[in-house]
Amino acid sequence: MSLDAVAFRKTLGCFASGVTIVTALADDGSPVGVTISAFCSLSLDPPLVLFCLNRNSSHRAALTHGNVCISILSEEQASLSSRFASKSEDRFAGLDLDPTPQGIPAPAGGLARLDCRVVSVAEGGDHDIVICAVEAATHADEKRPLVHCQGAYHGVHPLG
């Protein structure tokens, strides 16, 4: 029996996830970035994380080698998530940036940030699984994460 594509997407959408923006520099030096929720921790020692990028992404070349920055968005940053998923908007126009020491542009003011180097890329169907070594990690304790599930953005609140 073949899987119904809409049902599959909706089922996966029940898994609540944080939202990141993965940024890098293209070969011509221009900044690139994509909204990614398929992000997870992989290893503590050595420190590794991974994200999954659609193989049709226009920024596949820049985001699958060299230095990348993974910004974990706070609940105030839903509009940034939409901007970095949009084909029509200039994603970096007027954006307040806080570049990494390697010169990778990253949005300022997020919940947390991982300065990374891509160490390997595996094929995962129509996505690339991009494994990154983490070279620096920072976070802001006072902020709360942006969450995406069931097709909408949410904040988190403690239970009990």
Ligand X SMILES: Cc1cc2nc3c(=O)[nH]c(=O)nc-3n(C[C@H](O)[C@H](O)[C@H](O)COP(=O)(O)O)c2cc1C
Q: Which stretches of the chain bind ligand X, using CB under 6 A?
A: 19, 34-38, 52-54, 57-59, 81, 84-85, 87, 148
Of 2 and 155, CB closest to ligand X? 155
Instruction: For residues 35 and 20, give the distance between their C-alpha atoms in angstroms, rounded to a whole number.
Output: 6
Closest approach, Cβ 159 to ligand X, in A, equals 23
Compare residues 53 and 69 and give the one whose CB is closer to ligand X: 53
Looking at the Cβ atoms of 53 and 134, the one nearer to ligand X is 53
Q: How far is the CB of 82 from ligand X (least distance, A)?
A: 6
145: nearest Cα among 47, 78, 85: 78
d(CA 120, CA 77): 29
The least CB distance from residue 31 to ligand X, in Å, is: 12
Helices (H), the chain: 5-12, 60-63, 78-83
Toward ligand X, which CB reaches closer, 12 or 136?
A: 12
DSSP string, 101-142: TT----BSS-SEEEEEEEEEEEEETTEEEEEEEEEEEEE-TT
Q: How far is the CB of 67 from ligand X (least distance, A)?
A: 18
